[in-house]
Amino acid sequence: MSLKRNILDLRKRKSEVLKGGGEKAIEKQVAMGKLTARERILYILDEGSFHEYDLFVEHVARDFDMENKKLHGDGVIIGTGTIHGAPICIFAQDFTVAGGSLGLMHARKITKIMDHSLKMRVPLIGINDSGGARIQEGVNSLAGYGEIFFRNTLASGVIPQISVILGPCAGGAVYSPALTDFVFVVNNISKMFITGPSVIKTVLGEEISMEALGGAKVHAEITGNAHFYAESELECFDQIKKLMEFLPWNNKQKATRVEPANPKRRKKVENIVPSDPKMPYDIRDIIEAITDKSEFFEIMELFAPNIVIGFGRLNGETVGFVANQPKVLAGVLDCDSSDKAARFIRYCNAFNIPIITLEDLPGYLPGVDQEHAGVIRHGAKILYAYSEATVPRITVIIRKAYGGGYIAMNSRHLRADFVFAWPTAEIAVMGPEGAANIVFRKEIAEAEDPDAMRQIKIDEYKEKFANPYVAAGKGYIDEVIEPEDTRKMLLHALQVSANKSVMGPNKKHGIPPF
């Protein structure tokens, strides 16, 4: 007796399930400018590497006539494959099957692949495209979400978790992406919100479109929920693959080292920075002048652009950059930028990525809105994140390092491993203008020409304190370096820090100000 019949039967069954929600539903999906769930997985993974599981899982809903409905794969595809030749776990919700709605078995498939990724210590990529909870399954869908959130938290800081929002992701569903490390969104396709436009209109009378409420731009620019913004799905997949180049596969490993290379840029770094500390420049030009191949992969480019974060390589090794951006809001720290930087610092620390801090900031952003939004609490996050980080931490002070900003930006006092300063650095409790107004208040008020006296006193203060040598004299700075030597010093500092080992007090976990 031959097995042929059984094999043919298997093939038939598989081809049936692979149709997903059927031709019509797929046509609709395509009409919305979206790829199908399976196509998305195949684009992200190495060619021919995808293996799918739980193809024959059926939903278990028995109410509301659901027992007569066939939902292929219960609306989600799970499996394993490789990216850059290394194994990963992946799931993708299939909007063509019952709107990708989440029922008990749908959730169970997702948690199965999540358990797998945590056990095998490989990254997890989740593609979200779902109408939300499957109402017919009642509390079972809620249970499903809860099981997913718990696993997101369990795996947090152990394996990289990536969420890709390629369709609606509303209500409770938004919290899985929010718990993961990186969220990718695509213009016109991604929509995330807790309460949708129709409910908001009914209850509050506020009229807003889905795009304006929770579109890709909103989350990339205003809320900070998204880390990467793309104009198309394909661009988004390229971003994912690029990001994965910089990451280790779990928290016990280091990111794959690549062949070291010199920066491409021949421009002198000292020519990028205006000598007047009140004039702007783009800090990314400095990062690109330092990194291997002048490559810098920026994260959260549109949100709180007054601080710049992202990955680059030094001598072939992945490093995380945290840099004040004088070009935007003078590079001040505020609620959003503190939040953005602090989370990134914690990410780097969890995944053994050394942190390079480039500093040039006048301090914290003044304003009632900032104070009332809790800039104290948010600003504290950055102090917390740096202080607890045990990966190599190196700071380069480019120009201004004033007041609380100086302390916060990985200062010696927060146990930075190396602090270098350019000769243009001004390390002081505040800028000369502010300091002169306070220290010489009496002299200025009593002078015949207060403005002239103020200028004299500003210059006096500048001469005395607006330099790196007072701090260097106390050992707060290890070395005042020539700008051209920045890369050389960083490479050496990283080499020296390679086996860094520090031990804090034993604790269950800290209580960061979030």
Partner 1 sequence: MAEKKVEEKQYDTIIVHSAVYKTEYTQKYINRPVWEYPNENHIFSFMPGSIIDVHVKPGEKLKEGDSLLILEAMKMHNNVQMPFDGKIVKIHVKPGQKIPKKHLMLEIKRL
Alpha carbon separation from 239 to 165, 227, 291, 395 (Å, rounded): 13, 11, 19, 28
Question: DSSP 3-state assignment of 193?
Answer: strand
Query: Is the distance from CB of 81 to CB of 45 less than 8 angstroms?
Result: yes
**C-alpha span between 167 and 170 (Å, rounded):** 10
CB of 496 to partner 1, least distance (A): 34
CA distance 418 to 421: 10
DSSP for 219-265, written as a single string: IIIII---SEEESSHHHHHHHHHHHHHHS-SSTTS-PPP------S-
Q: Report in angstroms how near the CB of residue 183 gets to partner 1 at its nearest.
A: 18
- The answer to whether 292 touches 260, Cβ cutoff 8 Å, is yes
Stretch that binds partner 1, among 26-34, 119-127, 321-329, 409-417 (CB under 8 A): 321-329
Is 57 or 365 the residue whose CB approaches partner 1 more closely? 365
Residues forming a β-bridge with 357: 322, 395
Residue 203 CB, shortest distance to partner 1, in Å, is 6
Q: Looking only at residues 369 through 408 of this chain, which bind partner 1 when binding is defined by CB under 8 A?
A: 369, 372, 402-403
Applying the rule CB under 8 A, the residues between 450 and 509 that interact with partner 1 are none
Least distance CB 199 / partner 1 (angstroms) = 11
Strand partners, 136: none
Residues recorded for the chain: 514
**Secondary structure of 121-149 as H, E, C letters:** CCCEEEEECCCCECHHHCHHHHHHHHHHH
Q: Could you say whether residue 363 binds partner 1 (CB under 8 A)?
A: yes
- Comparing CB distances to partner 1, the nearer of 79 and 363 is 363
Rg (CA), the chain: 26
d(CA 14, CA 28): 23
Q: How far apart are CA 300 and CA 305, in angstroms?
A: 8
Q: Restricting to residues 232-261, which ones interact with partner 1 according to CB under 8 A?
A: none
Specify the stretch interacting with partner 1 by CB under 8 A; choose among 36-44, 191-199, 359-367, 389-397.
359-367
The verdict on 365 binding partner 1 (CB under 8 A) reads yes
Which range in 93-101, 112-120, 162-170, 272-280 contacts partner 1 by CB under 8 A? 272-280
Q: Whose Cβ is closer to partner 1: residue 173's or residue 330's? A: 330
Helix (H, G, I), strand (E, B) or coil at 499: coil
Residues 328-347 that bind partner 1 (CB under 8 A): 328-332, 336
The Cα–Cα gap between 439 and 445 comes to 12
Stretch that binds partner 1, among 57-65, 176-184, 203-211, 248-256 (CB under 8 A): 203-211
Residue 34 C-beta: closest distance to partner 1, Å = 28
Residue from the set 184, 229, 281, 465 that interacts with partner 1 by CB under 8 A: 281
Tell me how far, at minimum, the Cβ of 432 lies from partner 1, in Å: 8
CA distance 80 to 91: 9
| Binding positions for partner 1, 205-234, rule CB under 8 A | 205-206, 221-222
Total of chain residues touching partner 1, rule CB under 8 A: 43
Please report whether residue 199 would count as binding partner 1 according to CB under 8 A. Answer: no
Stretch near partner 1 under the rule CB under 8 A, chosen from 94-102, 363-371, 379-387, 493-501 = 363-371
Rounded Cα gap, residues 216 and 128, in angstroms: 13
CA distance 124 to 177: 12
Tell me the window of 92-100, 129-137, 322-330, 486-494 that interacts with partner 1 (CB under 8 A): 322-330
Nearer to partner 1 by Cβ, of 222 and 498: the residue is: 222
Closest CB to partner 1 among 366 and 512?
A: 366
d(C-alpha 130, C-alpha 108), whole Å: 15
Contact 419, 397 (CB under 8 A): yes
Piece of the chain touching partner 1 by CB under 8 A; list 6-14, 77-85, 91-99, 268-276: 268-276
Do 425 and 397 form a contact (C-beta atoms < 8 A)? yes
Cβ neighbors of 5 (< 8 A, separation 6 or more) are none
For partner 1, which stretch binds (CB under 8 A), given 127-135, 202-210, 314-322, 349-357?
Answer: 202-210
Contact status: 368 vs partner 1 (CB under 8 A): yes
- Segment contacting partner 1 by CB under 8 A, of 33-41, 132-140, 327-335, 342-350: 327-335
E runs forming strands in 390-505: 393-402, 418-421, 426-428, 479-480
Q: Show the binding pattern over residues 12-51: x = contacts partner 1 (CB under 8 A), - = does not.
A: ----------------------------------------
For the bound state, the minimum distance from the C-beta of residue 223 to partner 1, rounded and expressed in Å, comes to: 10
> For residues 86 and 222, which CB has a smaller minimum distance to partner 1 in the complex?
222
Q: What is the binding site for partner 1 (CB under 8 A)?
A: 203-206, 221-222, 271, 274-276, 278-281, 304-306, 326-332, 336, 362-369, 372, 402-403, 430-435, 437
